[in-house]
Amino acid sequence: MVLTQQRNIVTRTWGSSVGKKFVMAVTGVIFLLYVIAHMIGNLKIFFGRETFDAYSEHLRTLGADIFGYSGVLWIIRVVLIAAVVLHMVAAFSLWYKAKRARPVGYQHKGHQGSYAARTMRWGGVIIALFVIWHILDLTTGTVNPDPAGGAYGKLVASFDRPVVAIFYIVAMVALSFHISHGLWSGIQTLGGNSAVKQHALKSFSIGVGVVVAVGFAIIPVSVMIGLVR
């Protein structure tokens, strides 16, 4: 038979469509864990300026005696950047393969599958663009009206612009959809689904997606209605 199986685990994984999905599922789980930790951290905004700014500083001094100031933060950043690159390259490669698989489309368009499932690709692109804006706004302060305001000051200054607050909320809805399908899909990709568990797994993923969206979006909403000043 044709020699299709590769000796090396990297080419073996990357060389099949399902192998690329394994990469997407594992990197997706990394994002999801990060996103949840990030959300819990953000909610400290409701405990006031001191607590929030202290938390921001704490992230940088965490493990500083071993890894240096911001060391742990940089390790997290490098892991996330590597994960984003792998996730996106795998997604685009499968996107291209899907386009190639159907050169002539249907005249009568049917809509099978959930909205979340059908918007994974464009939704993912929107999230990636949002992440870039988000870093320029709240991390580097490049596009922030109050770049020297500290973590709390930057956040309030940013969401005082209604357009930005609404863009943020829209991006969180997109993220929620992405997680609602992605988490379930990732479990199925890693072989963890069964006909009996499927309904529960799907509901659980939607639940996680909703919790994440609400947990993040509550902050710009609170700034807009004046709860957080």
Partner 1 sequence: MRITLRVWRQKNADAKGKMEKYKLDDVEEDMSFLEMLDVLNEKLVLADEDPISFDHDCREGICGSCAMVINGTPHGPQKNTTTCQLHMRHFKDGDTIDVEPWRARAFPVIKDLVTDRSAFDQIIQAGGYVSVNTGSAPEAHATPVDKVSADDAFDAATCIGCGACVAACPNGSSMLFTSAKVTHLGLLPQGQPERQTRAISMLAKQDELDFGGCTNVGACAEVCPKGIPLASISRLNHDVLGATLTGARAD
CA-to-CA dists, residue 215 to 83, 97, 140, 189, 224, angstroms: 23, 35, 23, 27, 15
Q: How far apart are CA 225 and CA 146, in angstroms?
A: 20
Those residues with Cβ within 8 angstroms of residue 198's Cβ, 6 or more apart along the chain or in another chain: none
**x/- track of binding to partner 1 for residues 194-213 (CB under 8 A):** xx-xx---------------
Considering only 130-138, 139-147, 160-168, 184-192, which stretch makes contact with partner 1 by CB under 8 A? 184-192
Amino acid symbol at 221: V
Radius of gyration of the chain (CA): 20
Compute CA 166 distance to the chain's CA centroid, rounded to the nearest angstrom: 18
3-class SS at 106? coil
Beta-strand (E) ranges in the chain?
none
Using a 10 angstrom Cβ sphere, with 0-12 exposed, 13-18 middle and 19 or more buried, the burial of residue 44 is: middle
100 contacts partner 1 (rule: CB under 8 A): yes
Q: How far apart are CA 167 and CA 165, in angstroms?
A: 5
Q: Which does 102 bind (CB under 5 to 8 A by kind): ligand HEM, partner 1, none?
A: partner 1
- Min. distance of Cβ 216 from ligand HEM in angstroms? 11
Q: Which of 56, 61, 70, 193 binds partner 1 (CB under 8 A)?
A: 193
Q: How far apart are CA 186 and CA 18, in angstroms?
A: 11
Give 87 or 181: the residue with its C-beta nearer to partner 1: 181
- Min. distance of Cβ 177 from partner 1 in angstroms? 13
86 contacts partner 1 (rule: CB under 8 A): no
Element (H, E) at 159: helix 150-159
Q: Which of 104, 148, 200, 225 binds partner 1 (CB under 8 A)?
A: 104
Binding interface with ligand HEM (CB under 6 A): 21, 24-25, 28-29, 31-32, 35, 84, 87-88, 91, 120-121, 124-125, 127-128, 131, 175, 178-179, 182-183, 185-186, 189
Q: How far apart are CA 28 and CA 163, in angstroms?
A: 29
Give 25 or 228: the residue with its C-beta nearer to partner 1: 25
**x/- track of binding to partner 1 for residues 5-44 (CB under 8 A):** x-x-x--xx--xxxxxxx----------------------
- Positions that interact with partner 1 (CB under 8 A): 1, 3-5, 7, 9, 12-13, 16-22, 94, 97-98, 100-114, 117-118, 120, 181, 184-185, 187-195, 197-198
